Structure 1
Amino acid sequence: MKQTVETPKLERSISFIGFLGMGIGCVFGSSWLLMAGYWMTAAGGPVNAALAFAAGLIMIMTLALSYISIMPAFPEGGGEMQYARRAFGNTAGLIAGWSGFLVNGIVSAWQTLAITRMAETLFPALSEWPVVYHIGSEPVTVAGLLIGFFLVAAIAFLQYRGTRLFARLQSILVGTVLLLVISAIIAGLFYADPGNLRMTAEKPLFEGAVAFLVLLPFSIAGWENIAKGVEEARASLSIQKIGQALMWSILISTFLYAGLFFLQASLVPWPEMTQSKLPLVDSLVRLTGHTVFRVIILSAAIFNVLGVFNGVFYGAVRSLYALGNAGLLPRVFSRIHPTYKTPHAAIITVAVLVGITPLIGNAAFGSLVKVAAFFYVVLWGSTVLSARKLQLQLNILSLSPFKTTAVRRLISTGGIIAALFILAAMIWPTSPGALSWPGDYGLLALLICPCLVFHFLKRTGIVRGASSMTTDA
Structure 2
Amino acid sequence: MGMETGTAAGLSKTLGGWHLWGIAVGLVISGEYFGWSYGWAQAGTLGFLATTILVAVLYTTFIFSFTELTTAIPHAGGPFAYSHRAFGPMGGFIAGYATLIEFVFAPPAIALAIGAYLNVQFPGLNPKLAAVGAYGVFAALNIAGVTIAATFELCVTLLAIAELLVFMGVVAPGFAWSNFAAHGWAGDAGASSPAALGGVFAAIPFAIWFFLAIEGAAMAAEEAKDPARTIPRAYIAGILTLVALAFGTMILAGGVGDWRDLANINDPLPQAMKAVVGADSGWLHMLVWIGLFGLIASFHGIIMGYSRQIFALARAGFLPAALSRLHPTRRTPHWAILAGAAVGIAAIFSDEVLAFGGQPLTANIVTLSVFGAIVMYIISMASLFRLRRTAPEMARPFRAPGYPLVPATALSLACLCLAAMIYYNPLLFGVFVALLALGWLYCRRAAGRPMAGASVETVVEPGL
- 1:31 deviation in Å? 4.9
Match of 2:191 among 205, 227, 234: 205
Offset at residue 278 of structure 1 (A): 5.3
The count of aligned residue pairs is 438
The percentage of aligned residue pairs carrying the same residue is 21
Structure 1 residues 466, 153: CA separation in 2 closer, same or farther (over 3 Å shift)? farther
Do residues 24 (structure 1) and 7 (structure 2) align? no
The aligned residue for residue 227 of structure 1 is: 218
Instruction: Map 1:434-449 onto structure 2 (within 5 A).
Output: 434-436=424-426, 439-449=427-437
Provide the C-alpha distance between the structure 2 equivalents of 1:441 and 1:286, rounded to a whole number of angstroms.
Answer: 37
> 1:462/1:57 Cα in 2 relative to 1: closer, same or farther (>3 Å)?
closer
TM alignment of 1:32-51, pairs within 5 A: 32-33=33-34, 35-36=36-37, 38-46=38-46, 48-51=47-50
Matched with 1:424 is: 419
Q: Structure 2 CA distance, aligned partners of 1:283 and 1:328?
A: 45
Task: Map Cα deviations across residues 392-440 of structure 1 (whole Å, 9 max, x no partner).
Answer: 1231454153378xx3322332122011111111122xxxxx223xx43
Structure 1 residues 462 and 468, CA gap change in structure 2 (3 angstroms): closer
1:226-275 deviations in Å (ceiling 9; x for gaps): 111110112xx332431221222222122212111111233236567659
- State yes or no: 1:456 paired with 2:444: yes
- For 2:256 and 2:108, the matched residues in 1 are separated by 33
Q: Which residue of 1 aligns with 2:456?
A: 469
Kindly tell me: are residues 227 and 396 of structure 1, through their superposed partners in 2, closer, same or farther at Cα, counting changes over 3 Å? farther
> Is 385-394 or 257-266 further displaced after alignment?
257-266
Equivalent residues in 2 for 1:15-414 (5 A)? 15-33=16-34, 35-36=36-37, 38-46=38-46, 48-127=47-126, 144-145=128-129, 147-197=130-180, 201=184, 202-205=188-191, 208=196, 211-212=199-200, 214-215=204-205, 216-234=207-225, 237-268=226-257, 280-289=269-278, 290-357=280-347, 360=349, 362-365=351-354, 366=361, 367-402=364-399, 407-414=402-409
Q: Read off the aligned partner of 2:190 and give its amino acid letter.
A: P
CA distance in 2, matches of 1:24, 1:126: 29
1:384 is displaced (CA, Å) by 0.3
Q: CA deviation at 1:33?
A: 4.3
Pick the structure with greater CA Rg: 1
Unaligned runs of 5+ in 1: 128-142, 429-433
- The code of the aligned residue for 1:226 comes to A
SS in 2 for 1:89: helix
Cα distance per residue 1:46-67 (max 9 Å; x no partner): 4x44443332211111122221
Partners of 1:397 and 1:330 lie apart in 2 by 31
Distance 1:469 1:44, change over 3 A: closer
Q: Distance in 2 between matches of 1:352 and 1:276?
A: 25
Indicate conservation of the 8 Å contact 2:7/2:326, yes or no: no
Distance 1:224 1:462, change over 3 A: closer
CA contact (8 A) 1:112 1:152 kept: yes
How much is the aligned-residue C-alpha RMSD, in angstroms? 3.1
- CA spacing shift, 1:249–1:462, aligned 2, 3 Å: closer
Structure 2 counterpart of 1:230, which letter? A
- 1:34-87 superposed Cα distances (whole Å, 9 cap, x missing partner): 543x433444344x4444333221111112222112222212342110011011
Shift in Å, 1:110: 2.6
Secondary structure (helix, strand or coil) at the match of 1:11 reads coil
Distance across 2 between alignment mates of 1:275 and 1:457: 42
State the distance in 2 between where 1:10 and 1:95 align: 24
Q: Which moved more, 1:284-293 or 1:149-158?
A: 284-293
Partners in 2 of 1:221 and 1:379 — Cα distance? 12
2:191 corresponds to which letter in structure 1? L
Q: Which has the larger helix fraction?
A: 2
User: Matched residues in 1 for 2:178 and 2:233: separation?
Assistant: 37
Given residue 340 of structure 1, which amino acid in structure 2 is its aligned partner? R
Aligned to 1:391, the other structure's residue is in SS state: helix
What TM-score do the two structures reach when normalised by structure 1? 0.82
- Measured against aligned partners, the alpha-carbon deviations of 1:72-131 in whole angstroms (never above 9, x if no partner) come to 22123421100110111112202211221222111122333222222112211325xxxx
Say if 2:325 and 2:335, in contact at 8 Å, map to a contact too. yes
| 1:150–1:445 distance in 2 versus 1, CA, 3 Å | same
Q: TM-score, normalised by structure 2?
A: 0.84
